[in-house]
Amino acid sequence: MKRNIVDSSGWLEYFADADNASFFAPAIENTKLLIVPSISILEVFKHVLRHCSEKQAFESIECMLQGTVIDLNVELSLNAAKLGIQHKIPLADSIILATSMAHEATIWTQDADFKGLPQVKYINK
Task: Compute the average pLDDT of residues 31-59.
Answer: 97
Tell me, what DSSP letter sits at residue 45?
A: H
Whole-number Å distance between alpha carbons of 38 and 35 = 10
> What residues have CB less than 8 Å from 119, skipping those under 6 apart?
100, 101, 104, 105, 106, 107
Residue 3 pLDDT > 80:
yes
Confidence of residue 12 (pLDDT cuts 50, 70, 90): very high
pTM of the model: 0.94
Task: Compute the average pLDDT of residues 14-36.
Answer: 97
Architecture of domain 3-116: 3-Layer(aba) Sandwich (3.40)
Query: Are 70 and 38 in contact, with CB atoms under 8 Å apart?
Result: yes
Q: Per-residue pLDDT tens for 78-116?
A: 999 999 999 999 999 999 999 999 999 999 999 999 999
